[in-house]
Every structure is written in structure tokens, then in C-alpha cells.
Amino acid sequence: MDSRWNRRQYMTSCLVGSAAGLLAASGEPAWARAPVARSGQARFRPAIAAYSFRKYFPVFRGREQQPAADGPPMELFSFIDYCGRHRCDAELTAYFFPPDAGDDLLLKLKAHAFTRGTVLSGTAIGNDFTVPAGEALEAQIADAQEWIRKSAILGAPHLRIFAGTAKQLGDSAEKMAAVCEAVNRCAETAAREGVFLGIENHGGIGSDQLLQIIDRVESNWVGINLDTGNFVSDDPYDDIRRCAPFAVNVQLKPHVKNADGSHREADFERIAGILKDAKYQGYIALEYEDEAPYERIPGLLNRMRSAFDM
């Protein structure tokens, strides 16, 4: 079989899951791309996103930074240790790797995680496929393809990517086509390397735009990296519900956003219920973006474990 599974054949043979039934029953558009086919009940694994400790790493987005003084400094190896102590797996973010990181570092991290009994649940980059076509876009695609390769070396099964920003995407059919082409090119690399790509609802991109992109992706190595705190919406829980059947990774935030951009505390139990209804099976990676992560994260992990029956 072609590594790029034919989505129309896939839909015909596999559109039998309850998640697909939920979409059809709701009267919403019948997306051509079928949801992720899963059998059995929902299953969740806890993880922590390295971004939660972004102020404590010595490197951020390729530049040196002074780690915050209100907690222990963090680096990639000690982050893996932290996750292990809290009985979680580790999501590594590209922002915290030194610019000259080679395969030797990746292999050392892989070995370190294995000997600590910690799985590397995935990696994450901060790409933007809504940049102008040409050299800028080609550089973004090349970086994503390189991180697919690096993820495979690490043994990480998932790479979080961005489509870009809603402001740049707008209602432009040309820009939407360019974004989808970029994702499809990366999907070919992902299929060869055996790494899933999760497109995040980032940069103001809502559920409608995200599902349109997913509909036009030609590989089932691509799904949604569902960030529960990123929808700017009158009803973020409905956005989560609509996207959950296509999720290949979930990043859980302690808040959700209202339509005006303000925050309110997230209902972890409600989110867990949505994901259970969608029969999601995979990682729930806590991503904390506020102050005092060393103080707050242990309590949030307890809340997460209780809500998701972990």
C-alpha cells in the first residue's frame, strides 16, 4: 500500500467509528477526511510539555537566555528526570535545543529517557506556513522536515506543527492552498520516518479553518494537535468536541479562552468527557504557561489524573 493512504478509500472502509457518527448526527458538514479510526474505549497517558518550564532553560528559540531565578534551572536531561519523578512522559520542544544540536545529542536524550523509564511522547516546533511563498516558506518546510527526522531519531512518535496565523491565512484561498501543500509535503517525510504530525489550533486559527486544512491533507500521518486552551471562542468546548475525532495528541491547559480573549478556568472533567466520547487514545500533555510552574504543576497533574482517570 502507498505510504500516503488514499483518504477516499480510507473513508469508505473505515468510517464506522462513533466519532464519525457524532459528526454526522450533529448536522455539521461531512468532512471528506475520516476521523482517526480507533477501537475500544478511550485511553489516556500523562505527559508534560517542556514549554511549561520555558523560562528556566538556558536556550530559547536558538538564543541563550538567563534562566529565571525563582526555581531550579532546567535543561533537556533534567526535564526528562522531572517528568519521570512525576510519573509522566516528556514532550520536548525544539525551542530548548542548542542551535548546533546534532544526532549525538538526540541519541543521548533517547538513551537517557529509556534508562529513566520515561517515554518521549513527542516533539514540537514553532513553524509558520503562512509566510510568503518562496524562500521564506521553503525554509519553514525544510525545518519541519528536519525535525521530523530528528523526532524519528529520538523515538518520538509525534511532532507538533503550526499552520500559521489566522491573520495571515484570512479568507485567502491562495494562502490556504499554500499551507495545505506545505503540510502535504511534510506528510510525505512523516510517512517515511514513521512520525505523526499534529497541526495545532494556534495563532487564532479556529476549528473551521483547522478542519478545512485537515480535510485537504492527503496523509493519515497527519491529524490535530488539540490545544484545549487555544480556541478563542464563544464556546471553546464545542470547538474541542468538533476537533477531538481528528486528534493525534492533546495539550491540556489550565484555562480556556472566551471570544474576547480573556481566560477562565478549564473544566478538566468536561474536556475528559469530550475526549472519552471521541474514543481518543493517546497522550494528554499538560502545558502550563503561567507563573510558578514548579509550585503549580504538581497540583495540576493531580487534577488531570483525577479528571482523566489516569
Cell numbers found for residue 14: 473505515
Task: Please check whether residue 91 is in contact with residue 47, taking contact to mean a CB–CB distance below 8 angstroms.
Answer: yes
Q: Please, which residues bridge with residue 49 across strands? A: 91
Sign of CA dihedral 41, 47, 51, 53: positive
Question: Which are the contacts of 152, defined by CB distance < 8 A and separation ≥ 6?
Answer: 193, 194, 195
- Please count the other Cβ atoms lying within 10 Å of the Cβ belonging to residue 269: 12
Give the C-alpha distances (Å, rounded to integers) separating 197 from 33, 71, 219, 225, 242: 15, 33, 10, 8, 19
Q: Return the pLDDT at 221.
A: 96
Task: Please check whether residue 53 is in contact with residue 79, taking contact to mean a CB–CB distance below 8 angstroms.
Answer: yes
Q: Please, which residues bridge with residue 223 across strands? A: 198
Q: Return the pLDDT at 104.
A: 98
Alpha-carbon gap, residue 221 to 45, rounded angstroms: 20
Q: Return the pLDDT at 216.
A: 94
Q: At 30, which amino acid appears?
A: A
Q: Return the pLDDT at 23.
A: 38
Q: Return the pLDDT at 34.
A: 86
3-state SS, the chain, equals: CCCCCCHHHHHHHHCCCHHHHHHHHCCCCCCCCCCCCCCCCCEEEEEEEHHHHHHHCCEECCEECCCCCCCCCCCHHHHHHHHHHCCCEEEEEHHHCCCCCCHHHHHHHHHHHHHCCCCEEEEECCCCCCCCCCHHHHHHHHHHHHHHHHHHHHCCCEEEEECCCHHHHCCCHHHHHHHHHHHHHHHHHHHHHCCEEEEECCCCCCHHHHHHHHHCCCCCCEEEEEECCCCECCCHHHHHHHHHHHEEEEEECCEEECCCCCEEECCHHHHHHHHHHCCCEEEEEECCCCCCHHHHHHHHHHHHHHHHCC
Alpha-carbon gap, residue 162 to 283, rounded angstroms: 18
Alpha-carbon gap, residue 306 to 310, rounded angstroms: 7
Going from the N-terminus, what domains does the chain have, and what CATH number goes with each?
42-308 (3.20.20.150)
**Residues constituting the chain:** 310
Task: Please check whether residue 127 is in contact with residue 143, taking contact to mean a CB–CB distance below 8 angstroms.
Answer: yes
Low-confidence ranges of the chain (pLDDT < 70): 1-32
Cell numbers found for residue 161: 506543527
Output the pTM of the full model. Answer: 0.89
Q: Return the pLDDT at 170.
A: 87
